[in-house]
Structure 1
Amino acid sequence: MKFRRSPISCLMLSICSFHAAASGILRDETASAYLGSAGAGRAADIGASAAFNNPAGLTYLDHKAFQGTLLLVEDTFTFHDNGSSGNNADFDQRKKDTDYGKGFSGGGSLFYGQPLGEKWGVGFAFASPAGGATDFGDNWIGSNFIESVEVMVAVAVASVGYRINDQWSVGLSAGISYMAWELDMDPFPGASENLDLDSFEPVWSVSVMYQPWSHTRLGLRYTPGVTHEVTGKTTMTTPMGTLIDHASQEFNLADQAVLSLDHQLTPKLSLLADVEWAQWSDWEESRIIHDNGPTIVVDRDWKDAWSAGIGLSYQVAPDWTLKAGIAYDESSVSKAIHKLDPPADRQIAYAAGLGWQLSDSTRFDLSYQYMDLGDVELNQSIEGFDPIAGAPFSQQIVGQSEAHLHIVNLSLSKRF
């Protein structure tokens, strides 16, 4: 990848830096109490969060139900240099290695569901299934590519479920997805640029729930992909002054399908499982268009990705439940074309959770998940122009990066 003779020559970090990942990138169990099972079983949900996880599950509600969650995330990124080179004036002063921890970032979700007659269930969900922030600083070797990034995706949907018979239910949700993307970088020595872009797009999903026996549920949800064309202002500060521009960038979020199982093995022990597919092969390139500047094209050529998870839920006492799970996500990016974004290869999630039934109508869940995002071998180049020095510059990043996440979810559920 080479950007030639541009004062804004850089890599624009894509949506892949989301702290949530599955089927290569997006993992949506962070929005609900299913974090404690590593997402296993979420499409077989029959609580308030079914308004998000599987609207067909709303038909199982016999009371009004509410769930609120609080999400805390800590991410760490490590880069080890293996011979990077560059002729820009400040290259030798830059840190060749970096070990960066953001500290805590967070978010939250709200879910509501209620029965409507004997066969219908309705609900609403406001959730942030993906987002994150990373700040590498302006003195590391890759700041010409990226200095810091913040990404958030939030969705608000209305959902409805219909029970066909004792075994089959179907569901539908529709609403709005909001994406915000902010990037800071150093396009050439002595300069810094900020891009602050966002967009709204419609979203929908369809789902089905099958209960062959009273102790077994299978849930399937399909969510079509969304193309967010984020637009907004860019500000570049240089010794020659400040330049204001506008830019746009398309992010193609994949079609996703998830199949889940919730099977009661014994009166106290349940098996939870998931298989998920995401069609990332439609994303061939990233194209950032400046109104009064360059168009930057980054080849992607991603591939479809699968993930699978398995978990257990065990009632250790009448009011206490333990959960545990593990999930494996294959990478949507082949090793041959891996770039600084995403800072992830294959991903493995290890999770545990504790549920406390405070009363007949109130439940509290505490969940923890550790995500190993794998190791990435990097060999990435950039060619740009330094208008201050009046000369072109080049840089090549060669090294290895690794990243991991600690995620904590607090959830309160209430029946009315």
Structure 2
Amino acid sequence: MNKKRLFTKSVIAFAVTMASQQAVAAGFQLNAQSATGLGRAFAGDAVIADNASAMARNPAAMSLFDRPALSLGINAVDTDINVKNTEFGAGPFVNDVDDASVGGVSYVPNIYYIHPINDKFTVGASIYSNFGTKTEFDSGYGQDQALPDFIPGVGGLTPDVYGGLTDVKSVNFGLSGSYRINQQWSVGAGLDIIYGSGKLQRGRGLNAGNDPSNPDLLNVDADGVGFGFNVGTVYELNENHRFGLSYRYSPELEVDGDMYYSQSTTGNPNISGDKLKIALPDMAEFSGYHRVHQQFAVHYSVQWIGWSSFANLETTGGDVLNNYEWQDGWHYALGGTYYLNNDWTLRAGYMYDTSAQDKVTSISVPDSDRQWFSGGFTYHLDSKSNIDVGVTYLVGEDIEVEEGIISATTRADAWLYGIQYSRSF
């Protein structure tokens, strides 16, 4: 298999992975289920239960509500991705490539509704997103650095075969229920229906003349649906101290879509007639909440994400398209809430978020250990309704990337903004 064909098959595999919406790098995990959680770096979110969005992190937290509750909002994720010190080529033909600044803004809406049936049973429904992002290099990225046509296997390629467009969206539809065992213990469970879509373009314009209707070397538009579940429990020591534990099972998806790449480049017009299988990572979270003073509470969370379950990507026919060496990820979050008065609640938090990537890296999927610095507030419109605002600055690290015949230093930072309206009935 020549280098072009290997590259193209690998990047198609990655595109469909992105579309599946759960087996993606930590850099694409959207901790953006609510503006409230965003304002405290999601510290304690599996147990605080200050509005209906709590069900996204722990279904058992619904037992803490004694009346129907509705929350709806939107978060914006503004990524700033820099690619610098880039070299592209093979053997004696290595070119310096101009620095690139990529990224974009993704909008993440959400809605939650919780309805107590009686003092024991509570049910809820939710629509939100767990993953999504967009990165786009300038069209024709690095065209001036094209490799000479006479180089076997890679002649004519430009850095755009590693850059291009990556656009990912996901929607999680959840149905949940909880049961209060006694004054201390509650349990809950939920069904997740996950729909994901992804678009990927590479080598834009390189295939002109082979197929005028689709001049790109690679153009993928894929989607898939999977079913998972989540379970959880809450232990209330008393009204001021409680703990939450939740576990989310993620399914193995089989996804497909429109996938095009140059026959003249690969010697094969498609991967195979099979679908792609993607093993998605499970997640577990432990949270605590302690109101240590009438006006102040501390809260914390530890979350584990089983990225190592995604060892490779293969078809239902048994063809292995790409191998990954991802590692399990961890989130450690600590936050505080200050109940200023009947109108205002203030919050802040810090999270340390470890990377899923280890040895396998990419200029279009930059990832690293990250730090979250968060702040937010709630304004109570009246005794039954309020507005939440949250802001987070996410700080990444410089990472040395080696991907095929390109090397670079990448860094991914982001701003996250959220606003949310909540009401009890």
TM-score normalised by length of structure 2: 0.83
Q: Note if contact 1:18-1:130 (Cα within 8 Å) is conserved in structure 2.
A: no
Q: 1:163 aligns with which of 180, 202, 208?
A: 180
2:314 and 2:396 map into 1 onto residues whose CA distance is 26
Q: Note if contact 1:172-1:206 (Cα within 8 Å) is conserved in structure 2.
A: yes
Indicate whether 1:412 and 2:421 are aligned. Answer: yes
2:2 and 2:338 map into 1 onto residues whose CA distance is 54
Structure 1 residues 50, 373: closer, same or farther in 2, change over 3 A?
same
Q: Which residue of 1 aligns with 2:210?
A: none
1:341 and 1:297 map into 2 onto residues whose CA distance is 19
Q: Note if contact 1:156-1:176 (Cα within 8 Å) is conserved in structure 2.
A: yes
Output aligned runs, 1:4-403, within 5 Å.
Answer: 5=5, 8=8, 11-12=11-12, 13=14, 24=26, 27=29, 29-32=31-34, 33-46=36-49, 47-86=51-90, 95-102=97-104, 104-141=105-142, 142-186=159-203, 189-190=206-207, 191-192=215-216, 193-236=218-261, 248-287=275-314, 297-334=321-358, 336-340=359-363, 342-381=365-404, 396-403=405-412
How far the C-alpha of 1:309 sits from its partner, in A, is 0.3
Q: Which residue of 1 aligns with 2:147?
A: none
1:59 and 1:6 map into 2 onto residues whose CA distance is 52
Secondary structure at 1:211 match in 2: strand
2:249 and 2:166 map into 1 onto residues whose CA distance is 26
Sequence identity percentage = 23
Q: Note if contact 2:87-2:97 (Cα within 8 Å) is conserved in structure 1.
A: no
Q: Cα RMSD between the aligned structures?
A: 3.2
1:186 and 1:108 map into 2 onto residues whose CA distance is 32
How far the C-alpha of 1:356 sits from its partner, in A, is 0.2
How far the C-alpha of 1:226 sits from its partner, in A, is 2.5
Q: Which amino acid aligns with 2:115?
A: Q
In structure 1, the gaps of 5 or more residues are 382-395
How far the C-alpha of 1:370 sits from its partner, in A, is 1.2
How far the C-alpha of 1:97 sits from its partner, in A, is 1.6
How far the C-alpha of 1:376 sits from its partner, in A, is 1.6
Between 1:254-263 and 1:6-15, the stretch displaced more is 6-15
1:114 and 1:262 map into 2 onto residues whose CA distance is 23
How far the C-alpha of 1:320 sits from its partner, in A, is 0.6
Q: Note if contact 2:280-2:309 (Cα within 8 Å) is conserved in structure 1.
A: no
How far the C-alpha of 1:237 sits from its partner, in A, is 7.1
Q: Note if contact 1:48-1:58 (Cα within 8 Å) is conserved in structure 2.
A: yes
Q: Note if contact 1:20-1:131 (Cα within 8 Å) is conserved in structure 2.
A: no
Secondary structure at 2:191 match in 1: strand
Q: Note if contact 1:10-1:144 (Cα within 8 Å) is conserved in structure 2.
A: no
1:377 and 1:37 map into 2 onto residues whose CA distance is 31
Structure 1 residues 249, 25: closer, same or farther in 2, change over 3 A?
farther
1:10 and 1:279 map into 2 onto residues whose CA distance is 22
Q: Which amino acid aligns with 2:352?
A: Y
Q: Note if contact 1:150-1:181 (Cα within 8 Å) is conserved in structure 2.
A: yes
Structure 1 residues 286, 7: closer, same or farther in 2, change over 3 A?
closer
- Structure number having the greater strand percentage: 1
Q: Note if contact 1:24-1:307 (Cα within 8 Å) is conserved in structure 2.
A: no
Structure 1 residues 111, 34: closer, same or farther in 2, change over 3 A?
same
1:317 and 1:22 map into 2 onto residues whose CA distance is 42
How far the C-alpha of 1:143 sits from its partner, in A, is 1.5
Structure 1 residues 81, 249: closer, same or farther in 2, change over 3 A?
farther
Structure 1 residues 300, 127: closer, same or farther in 2, change over 3 A?
same
1:86 and 1:172 map into 2 onto residues whose CA distance is 53
Structure 1 residues 71, 281: closer, same or farther in 2, change over 3 A?
same
How far the C-alpha of 1:16 sits from its partner, in A, is 6.9
2:237 and 2:2 map into 1 onto residues whose CA distance is 56
Q: Note if contact 2:165-2:200 (Cα within 8 Å) is conserved in structure 1.
A: yes
2:20 and 2:294 map into 1 onto residues whose CA distance is 38
Q: Note if contact 2:166-2:364 (Cα within 8 Å) is conserved in structure 1.
A: no
Q: Which runs of 4+ in 1 moved over 6 A?
A: 16-23, 237-240
1:96 and 1:18 map into 2 onto residues whose CA distance is 32
Between 1:352-361 and 1:128-137, the stretch displaced more is 128-137
Between 1:163-172 and 1:51-60, the stretch displaced more is 51-60
TM-score normalised by length of structure 1: 0.85
Q: Note if contact 1:251-1:286 (Cα within 8 Å) is conserved in structure 2.
A: yes
2:347 and 2:338 map into 1 onto residues whose CA distance is 6
Structure 1 residues 82, 152: closer, same or farther in 2, change over 3 A?
closer
